[in-house]
C-alpha cells in the first residue's frame, strides 16, 4: 500500500473507448450477429410503384411455400396503428402506396432464402396514380393529394376514421407541417438596411450510411411479454410508442439494444419494419429477426431533410445586421418523420447565431412521393448554416468589410438572451472566430487567393469561414430532458454504472465512466457500464441533440457524488477522521491535504458490505437540466448550454474538371471543457468528414420518386485519401451547468463544413454556388457558365 | 436462389476446353470481382456449371515471347502492376493498375476477367488498346486444340458482350514491345481518387520523333457501349507537330467524335467536356516532357 497519493485528474486525458478492443478485434456482436433460439427470418415486400392504388394482393402461393410460417398484409393486422410524427403512416399499407419503399406484405420463414422466394410469389395488382416528385408541384392548385382519405377506407376501418391522425382523417391538402416564427419587424429592419440580398439555396438528399444496417429481433414469451433487440436511439420513448402502435401495455415491452453500428439520428423514429417484425412474431408464434440489405438501407431508411430555402437578409453600412426573412420548402416525402421538424433548429441559427433584431421565418413541409427524411446529425442546422453563412460573406463584401470583422461585429457574447429566448450563459463564438482565423492565416490567404483568381492557371485555391451555434446542454423537446443513473460498488472497489444513456458509437459510455472515476478516484479499468436494457437501466429520453455527455454526464456525476459521500462518511467513522478532510484517490481513501493513505477503498467496501448493518454502496440520481420548453411562438431557452464553433476550410479547385479538393480544415470549437480528448477529437474529425461528404460527394439521387444510386458504388462517401488535414483547437469556456464544465459537441463538427466550403470556392473562383453538393460536374458547370458570361 | 448443378475446377487448359465443349452451359469464374456482385444484383444468372479456372497453370504468368509480352489471363491487377517486364516495357499498364479499384480488388481481379467482362469503363482496356494488344483465345471444338487471336478492339461487341465463342476461353493478351521513341498516356477520370468507376478514360500512344507524333493510337473508355478507338483524334495528330494548334485540334476532334450517354455518374455534356479537357492535358504533358 502506498503511503501517500497525490491528486490526479482524468479530465482532459486521452482515454481509449471502452468498446474499442472488441470493435477493432471484430468481436462486437451487433444485431446481425445475434440469433435467438427458434428464430425465423423476416422479409418485406416493397412497392414496385411510386404512387398507386393497391387493387389486390394475392399471398396464397407464398403461404403454400414450404418453410414459410407467416405471410401478412394490412388485412391481417386491422388493428395496426399509424406511426410517425404526424401519424400518417401505417406500417403495412392498406389502400395505396405513396413511395417506392412502401411495405405491402411481409414473410417469416425458416431462412432468408425461403423468405425471399416467398416474396417473389406474392402477386400485387396496382393502379398507378400521378407521381408528385417536386414539392412545388404538390402545392399547385389541383395537385393530386398524397393523403386524400383515410388509408383504411374500407368498411373495416370505418370505426377508426373518427380517431386522430392523418392516417385516419386524411389530409385535404399536401401540406404536412408548417412553422412560423417572428421576432421584431422585418419591414422596419429592411428600411434600415443599406445592403439587401435575396437568394434561394437548394439542399439535397443524403442519408446516414451507418455501417450497421437496420435490424431487429422481436420475440413474445408465453405470457405475451414482448422483447425487442433493437437499434433504437430512444428506448424509453419507443417503449411507449410501440405500446401505442401495437395496442399493448407498455409495461410488457422490453427493449435491449445490442451494440449499435452507427445512429447519427437515423434511429430516432420508429419505421415500418419494426412493428412489421413484431406482427410477424405474433403471427408465427416464433421469434423473428429482420435485417436490411444494404440496398434496402438506402431505399427504406430515412434521409437528411432536403430543403429549398429562400433567404433575404440585410445589414447597415457599418456591418450591423438588420433583418432576415426565410421561407423554406421542405420536401416531406410521402410520410412525416422528424425531418419535418428540423425548423426547430433552423430557426435558432437564423435568429441567434449572430445578433439579428428582426426575423421572420416560414416553413412548409410538403408531401411528395419521394423518400422521407428523419433526424440526422445537425438536424436542419447544416441547411440553415449553408444559407446564412454565405449571405454573411456576401454582405461583408458589399459593405467592404472582411468576412472575419463582419462576423465579429455581429457575434454573440456570453450573457446574451436572444429575441428567441436563448440564454448564452457561456459563449466562445468570438474566440472561435479569431482562433480559427489566426491558426489558418485566414485574412492573408483570403486576399492572396482573390488576387490570383483572374490569372491563368488550372488550379485555384480558396479559403472560407463559417460558424455555427447548436444546443450543447440537451434540448427540451419533450416535457422532460432528463436522464437517470444507478451506481453500485462491489466488494473490490469496482463500480457498475447503470445509465439511461444509449451508446451509438459516440463514446458516451467511456466519458460517463471517466466522469464517475474522476469523482471516485478510480482507474478506468474499475468501471463497467450497463446501458442497453429498459428492464434494468433508468429512464432517459434517448441519444440525440448532442445531449448525452451533458445530461447523462451530470446525472452520472450526481450519482457518483452521492456514492462518494457515503464512502467518505463511512471511512471517517471507521478511521475516526473528519469525512470533509478525506478524499478518494487511486482506489484509496486518503487525507485530502497530505495525501496520506488511510485505507484501500476495497477494504472499506468489504467492511461495509459485511457489517451487521450492511450499507451497500448504491446510489441513484436523476438529472433534469435547467432548460425551458419553447412557447407556442417558438421562444424559449431550450438548452442548458449552447455549443459554438468556427471552421475554416481551404480548397483547391481544378477549373478543368470542377473537382474541389479539401486541403485543410481548421476548426475552433467551444466545447465548454475537454473531458476525453481522444473521444472529442474522434467526434470532431468524424463530423468534419461527414460534413465534407455533405458538401462535396454524397447525394441520394431521387428521380421521379426513384432512388437511382442505392449502393456505395454510386453513392459516394468520402474515401481515405480525400480526407483533409485537420487542425482542431478547443476553446474551454467552462460552462457553469456542464459536467466538469463541458458542453455537447456531437453534432457541431458536421454543421459548417458545407457553408465554409461554399465560401472557399467563391474565394478561389469568384463563383458562388448555392446548391449542394459541390460535385465536379456542378462546379464545372458553374465555372463554365461564369466563363461564358464573361466572354 | 441460384441453383448450381455442377462445379468444376480443371487443372489444365486442355481439360478446361474439353469440359467447356462437353458441358455446354458453363459460367467461368476467375477472380469473381465482377461475377459475384453482378449475380447478387440479379444482373447475371449462373449457368448450370460453374467453372473455376484458377487452377489452370497455363493461364498464369507474364513472359516475353519474341517481340511481344504475353500476359496470362489469370494475372491479377496487383501482379501486373508489380511485374518487372511490365514496368520496363509497358509502364502504362502499371500506371493504369495503380488507379484500379482498391488493393483487395486488385489482389483478386484478373486481367482476363477485366477484358471478358467487357465493361466500357474497364480500366485495362483502353491502355491495352493503345498498346496494340491482341487477345488469345482457345477452344477444342473437335480433337485438336484451336487457338485464335484478334486485335482487342474487335473483341468487344457491347457492354458485357464479346466475340468469345460459347466454349472458348481467353488465355492471354499479347502486346508488342513498343518501339523506340514510344510515348503513351492513360488518364482515368473519376470524381474521387480511390475506388471509383471511370466517368471517362483516355489513352494516347504514338512514336514521338522530332516533335512529331506518328503511329498514333487513341482510345476512349466509358463514352460508348464498348471502349472505342479515337480515329478522328488519331488523324488530327498523325504526323503533326505537337504544338498548341495541333493539341487544340485534337482535343476538339476528341470531343466531337465521342457520343457518351448521361447516367448517375455524369451527363453526356460533362463527359464530352472532360474528353476535351483531358485530351488536351495529356497532349500538353507529352509535349512538355519529351
Ligand atoms: C469494389 C470494386 C471496385 C472495382 N473497381 C474497378 C476499377 O477501378 N476498374 C475496373 O476496370 N474494374 C473494377 N472493378 C471490376 C472488376 O474488379 C474487374 O473488372 C476485374 O478485372 C474482373 O476480374 P475477375 O477476375 O474478378 O473477373 P470475374 O468476375 O471472375 O469474371 C468477369 C467475367 O469474365 C469472365 N471471364 C473471366 N475470366 C475469363 C477467361 N479467362 N476466359 C473467359 N471468360 C472469362 C467471367 O465469366 C465473367 O463473365 C471493380 C470491382 C469491384 C467489386
* CA distances to A278, A721, B165 from B140, in Å: 58, 48, 11
Give the containing element (helix H, strand E) for A347. Answer: helix A343-352
Does position A791 have pLDDT exceeding 80, yes or no? no
Pair A306, A329: CB distance under 8 Å: no
* pLDDT score recorded for residue A371: 97
d(C-alpha A601, C-alpha A519), whole Å: 13
Test A775 with B189 for CB contact under 8 angstroms: no
Q: Which of A117, A708, A719 sits opposite B192 (nearest CB)?
A: A719
Contact B273 A659 (CB under 8 A): no
A723 vs A150: which has the higher pLDDT = A723
Helices (H), chain B: 13-23, 35-40, 77-82, 84-89, 91-98, 103-108, 111-117, 125-130, 152-155, 231-237, 244-257, 268-288
| Distance from C-alpha of B158 to C-alpha of B160, rounded to nearest angstrom | 6
Rounded average pLDDT over A763-771: 97
Residue A254 distance to chain B (closest CA, Å): 36
Give the number of other CB atoms < 10 A from CB of residue A138: 25
Cα separation, A244 vs A266, in Å, equals 21
From CA A373, how far away is CA A336, in angstroms rounded?
A: 8
**Ligand 1 pocket, B78 CB below 6 A?**
no
Please give the pLDDT value at position B175.
98
User: Once rounded to an integer, what is the mean pLDDT over residues A708-721?
Assistant: 95
Among B1, B194, B267, beta carbon nearest to A777: B267
Measured at the alpha carbon of residue B131, what is the angle toward residues B128 and B134, in degrees to the nearest 5? 65
- Our mutation pick for probing the ligand 1 site, out of B12, B34, B138, counting the most ligand atoms within 8 A of Cβ, is B34
CA distance A719 to A692: 11
| Ligand 1 center from residue B163 Cα (angstroms) | 17
- % pLDDT > 90, chain A: 94
State in Å, rounded, how far the first CA of chain B is from the last one. Answer: 56
Q: Please tell me the predicted confidence (pLDDT) of residue B3.
A: 66
> Predicted confidence band at A292 (pLDDT cuts at 50, 70, 90)?
very high
* Interchain proximity B265–A714, CB inside 8 Å: yes
Closest-CA distance of chain B to residue A697, Å: 8
pLDDT tens track for A135-157: 999 999 999 999 997 655 454 55
Closest by alpha carbon to A261, among A210, A300, A208, A207? A210
Which residues share a beta bridge with A293? none
What does the pLDDT average to over A177-189? 97
For residue A167, the model assigns a pLDDT of: 86
- Per residue, the 3-state secondary structure of A222-283, as one string, reads CCCCEEEEECCCCHHHHHHHHHHHHCCCHHHEEEECCCCCCCCCCCCCCCCHHHHHHHHHHH
Which 8-state DSSP code applies to residue A682?
Answer: H
By percentage, how much of chain B surpasses pLDDT 90?
A: 92
Quick check: bond before A327 cis, omega within 30? no
pLDDT at site A470: 98
Give the residue-averaged pLDDT of A220-234: 97
CA B32 to centroid of ligand 1, rounded, Å: 6
Q: What is the mean pLDDT of chain A?
A: 95
Residue of A nearest to B265 (CA): A714
Nearest CA in chain A to B268: A777
What's the DSSP call for residue A155? G
Of the listed ranges A137-151, A331-345, B178-192, the least confidently predicted one is A137-151
Tell me what the mean pLDDT of segment B69-73 comes to. Answer: 98
Q: Bridge-partner residues for B158, per DSSP?
A: B161
pLDDT score for B136: 98
Instruction: Measure B117 CA to ligand 1 centroid, in angstroms.
Output: 6
Q: Going from the N-terminus, what domains does chain B have, and what CATH number goes with each? A: 6-52 (3.30.43), 57-176 (3.30.465.10), 182-288 (3.30.390.50)
- Give the mean model confidence (pLDDT) for residues A113-142: 97
Residues A524-544: pLDDT tens digits?
Answer: 999 999 999 999 999 999 999
Interval A376-428: pLDDT, tens: 999 999 999 999 999 999 999 999 999 999 999 999 999 999 999 999 999 99
Q: What is the pLDDT averaged over residues A553-557?
A: 98
* Domains of chain A, first to last: 20-27+482-622 (3.30.365.10), 34-130+140-173+213-260+267-300 (3.90.1170.50), 307-475+630-790 (3.30.365.10)
Bin B195: left if φ > 0, else alpha if -120 < ψ < 50, else beta: left
Among the listed residues A741, A633, A635, A647, the one whose alpha carbon sits nearest the alpha carbon of residue A692: A647
Task: Measure the CA–CA gap between A135 and A366, rounded to whole angstroms.
Answer: 6
Any idea how long chain B is?
290
pLDDT for A445 beyond 80: yes
Cell 411495405 -> residue? A103
Q: Which of B191, B199, B201 to mutate to test the interface with A (most CBs of A within 10 A)?
A: B191
Give how far B206 is from chain A: nearest CA, Å.
Answer: 25
- Here the ipTM equals 0.94
Q: Do A659 and B191 touch (CB under 8 A)?
A: yes
Query: What is the band of B1 on the pLDDT scale with cuts at 50, 70, 90?
Result: very low
| Ligand 1 centroid – CA A64 distance (Å) | 40
Confidence of residue A158 (pLDDT cuts 50, 70, 90): low
Averaged pLDDT for residues A669-676 = 98
Amino acid at each position: 500500500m502506498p503511503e501517500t497519493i497525490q491528486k490526479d485528474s482524468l479530465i482532459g486525458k486521452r482515454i481509449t473507448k471502452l468498446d474499442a478492443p472488441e470493435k477493432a478485434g471484430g468481436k462486437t456482436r451487433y444485431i446481425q450477429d445475434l440469433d435467438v433460439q427458434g428464430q425465423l427470418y423476416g422479409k418485406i415486400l416493397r412497392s414496385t410503384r411510386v404512387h398507386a392504388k393497391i387493387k389486390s394482393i394475392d399471398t396464397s402461393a407464398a403461404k403454400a411455400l414450404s418453410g414459410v410460417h407467416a405471410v401478412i398484409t394490412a388485412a391481417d393486422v386491422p388493428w395496426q396503428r399509424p406511426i410517425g410524427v404526424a401519424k400518417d403512416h401505417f406500417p403495412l399499407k392498406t389502400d395505396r402506396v405513396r413511395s417506392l419503399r412502401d411495405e405491402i406484405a411481409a414473410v417469416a420463414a425458416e431462412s432468408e432464402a425461403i423468405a425471399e422466394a416467398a416474396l417473389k410469389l406474392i402477386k400485387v395488382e396496382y393502379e398507378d396514380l400521378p407521381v408528385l416528385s417536386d414539392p412545388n408541384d404538390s402545392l399547385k392548385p389541383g395537385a393530386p393529394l398524397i393523403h386524400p382519405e383515410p388509408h383504411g377506407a374500407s368498411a373495416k376501418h370505418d370505426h377508426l376514421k373518427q380517431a386522430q391522425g392523418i392516417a385516419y382523417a386524411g389530409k385535404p391538402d399536401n401540406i404536412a407541417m408548417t412553422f412560423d416564427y417572428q421576432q421584431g419587424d422585418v419591414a422596419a429592419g429592411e428600411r434600415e438596411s443599406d445592403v439587401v440580398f435575396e437568394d434561394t439555396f437548394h439542399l439535397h438528399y443524403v442519408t446516414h450510411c451507418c455501417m450497421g444496417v437496420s435490424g431487429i429481433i422481436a420475440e413474445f414469451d408465453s405470457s405475451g411479454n414482448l422483447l425487442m433487440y433493437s437499434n433504437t436511439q430512444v428506448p424509453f420513448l419507443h417503449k411507449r410508442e410501440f405500446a401505442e402502435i401495437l395496442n399493448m401495455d407498455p409495461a410488457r415491452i422490453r427493449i435491449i439494444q445490442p451494440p449499435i453500428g452507427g445512429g447519427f439520428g437515423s434511429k430516432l423514429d420508429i419505421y415500418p419494419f419494426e412493428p412489421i417484425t413484431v406482427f410477424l412474431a405474433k403471427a408465427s408464434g416464433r421469434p423473428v429477426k429482420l435485417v436490411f440489405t444494404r440496398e434496402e438501407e438506402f431505399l427504406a431508411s430515412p434521409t437528411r431533410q432536403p430543403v429549398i430555402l429562400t433567404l433575404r437578409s440585410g445589414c447597415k453600412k457599418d456591418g450591423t445586421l438588420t433583418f432576415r426573412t426565410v421561407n423554406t420548402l421542405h420536401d416531406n416525402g410521402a410520410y412525416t418523420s422528424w425531418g419535418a421538424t428540423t425548423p426547430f433548429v433552423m430557426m435558432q441559427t437564423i435568429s441567434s447565431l449572430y445578433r439579428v433584431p428582426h426575423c421572420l421565418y416560414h416553413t412548409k413541409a410538403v408531401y411528395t412521393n419521394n423518400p422521407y427524411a428523419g433526424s440526422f446529425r445537425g438536424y436542419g442546422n447544416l441547411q440553415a448554416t449553408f444559407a446564412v453563412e454565405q449571405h454573411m460573406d456576401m454582405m461583408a463584401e458589399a459593405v467592404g468589410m472582411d468576412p472575419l470583422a463582419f462576423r465579429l461585429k455581429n457575434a454573440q457574447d456570453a450573457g446574451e438572451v436572444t429575441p428567441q429566448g436563448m440564454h448564452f450563459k457561456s459563449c466562445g463564438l468570438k474566440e472561435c472566430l479569431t482562433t480559427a482565423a489566426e491558426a489558418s492565416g485566414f485574412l492573408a490567404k483570403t486576399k492572396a487567393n482573390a488576387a490570383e483568381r483572374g490569372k491563368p492557371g488550372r488550379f485555384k485555391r480558396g479559403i472560407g469561414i463559417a460558424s455555427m451555434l447548436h444546443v450543447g446542454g440537451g434540448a427540451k423537446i419533450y416535457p422532460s430532458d432528463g436522464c437517470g443513473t444507478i451506481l453500485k460498488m462491489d466488494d473490490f472497489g469496482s463500480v457498475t454504472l447503470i445509465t439511461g444513456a444509449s451508446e451509438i458509437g459516440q463514446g458516451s459510455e467511456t466519458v460517463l465512466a471517466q466522469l464517475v472515476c474522476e469523482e471516485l478516484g478510480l482507474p478506468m479499468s474499475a468501471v463497467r457500464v450497463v446501458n442497453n436494457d429498459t428492464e434494468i437501466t433508468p429512464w432517459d429520453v434517448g441519444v440525440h441533440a448532442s445531449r448525452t455527455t451533458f445530461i447523462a454526464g451530470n446525472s452520472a456525476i450526481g450519482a457518483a457524488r452521492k456514492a462518494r459521500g457515503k464512502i467518505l462518511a463511512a471511512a471517517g467513522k471507521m478511521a475516526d477522521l473528519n469525512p470533509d478532510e478525506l478524499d478518494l484517490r487511486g482506489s484509496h481513501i486518503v487525507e485530502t491535504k497530505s495525501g496520506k493513505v488511510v485505507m484501500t477503498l476495497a477494504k472499506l467496501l468489504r467492511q461495509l458490505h459485511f457489517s451487521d448493518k450492511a450499507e451497500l454502496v448504491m446510489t441513484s440520481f436523476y438529472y433534469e437540466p435547467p432548460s425551458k420548453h419553447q412557447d407556442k411562438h417558438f421562444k424559449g431557452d431550450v438548452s442548458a448550454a449552447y455549443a459554438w464553433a468556427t471552421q475554416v476550410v481551404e480548397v483547391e479547385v481544378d477549373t478543368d474538371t470542377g473537382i474541389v479538393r479539401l486541403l485543410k480544415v481548421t476548426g475552433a470549437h467551444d466545447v465548454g471543457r475537454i473531458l476525453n480528448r481522444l473521444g472529442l477529437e474522434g467526434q470532431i474529425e468524424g463530423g468534419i468528414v461527414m460534413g465534407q461528404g455533405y458538401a462535396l460527394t454524397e447525394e441520394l439521387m431521387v428521380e421521379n420518386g426513384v432512388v437511382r444510386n442505392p449502393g456505395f458504388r454510386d453513392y459516394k462517401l468520402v474515401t481515405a485519401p480525400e480526407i483533409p488535414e485537420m487542425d482542431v483547437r478547443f476553446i474551454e469556456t467552462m460552462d457553469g451547468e456542464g459536467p466538469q464544465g463541458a458542453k455537447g459537441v456531437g453534432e457541431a463538427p458536421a454543421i459548417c463544413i458545407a457553408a465554409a466550403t461554399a465560401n472557399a470556392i467563391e474565394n478561389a473562383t469568384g463563383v458562388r454556388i448555392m446548391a449542394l453538393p459541390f460535385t465536379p460536374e456542378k462546379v464545372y458547370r458553374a465555372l463554365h457558365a461564369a466563363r461564358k458570361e464573361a466572354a | 436462389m441460384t441453383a448450381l448443378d455442377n462445379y468444376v475446377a480443371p487443372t489444365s487448359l486442355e481439360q478446361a476446353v474439353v469440359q467447356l465443349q462437353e458441358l455446354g452451359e458453363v459460367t467461368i469464374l476467375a477472380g469473381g470481382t465482377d461475377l459475384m456482385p453482378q449475380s447478387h444484383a440479379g444482373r447475371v444468372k449462373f449457368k448450370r456449371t460453374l467453372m473455376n479456372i484458377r487452377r489452370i497453370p497455363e493461364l498464369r504468368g507474364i513472359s516475353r515471347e519474341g517481340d511481344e509480352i504475353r500476359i496470362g489471363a489469370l494475372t491479377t491487377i496487383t501482379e501486373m502492376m508489380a511485374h518487372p517486364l511490365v514496368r520496363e516495357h509497358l509502364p502504362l499498364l502499371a500506371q493504369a493498375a495503380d488507379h484500379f479499384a482498391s488493393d483487395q480488388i486488385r489482389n483478386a481481379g484478373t486481367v482476363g476477367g477485366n477484358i471478358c467482362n467487357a465493361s466500357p469503363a474497364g480500366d485495362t482496356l483502353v491502355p491495352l488498346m493503345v498498346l496494340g494488344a491482341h487477345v488469345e483465345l482457345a477452344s477444342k471444338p473437335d480433337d485438336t486444340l484451336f487457338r485464335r487471336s484478334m486485335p482487342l478492339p474487335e473483341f468487344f461487341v457491347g457492354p458485357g458482350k464479346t466475340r468469345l465463342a460459347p466454349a472458348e476461353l481467353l488465355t492471354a493478351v499479347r502486346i508488342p514491345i513498343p518501339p523506340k521513341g514510344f510515348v503513351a498516356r492513360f488518364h482515368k477520370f473519376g470524381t474521387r481518387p480511390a475506388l471509383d468507376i471511370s466517368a471517362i478514360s483516355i489513352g494516347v500512344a504514338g512514336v514521338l520523333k522530332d516533335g512529331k507524333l506518328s503511329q498514333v493510337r487513341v482510345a476512349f473508355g466509358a463514352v460508348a457501349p464498348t471502349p472505342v478507338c479515337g480515329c478522328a483524334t488519331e488523324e488530327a495528330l498523325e504526323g503533326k507537330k505537337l504544338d498548341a494548334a495541333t493539341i487544340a485540334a485534337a482535343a476538339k476532334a476528341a470531343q466531337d467524335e465521342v457520343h457518351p450517354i448521361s447516367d448517375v455518374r455524369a451527363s453526356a455534356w460533362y463527359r464530352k467536356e472532360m474528353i476535351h479537357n483531358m485530351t488536351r492535358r495529356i497532349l500538353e504533358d507529352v509535349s512538355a516532357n519529351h
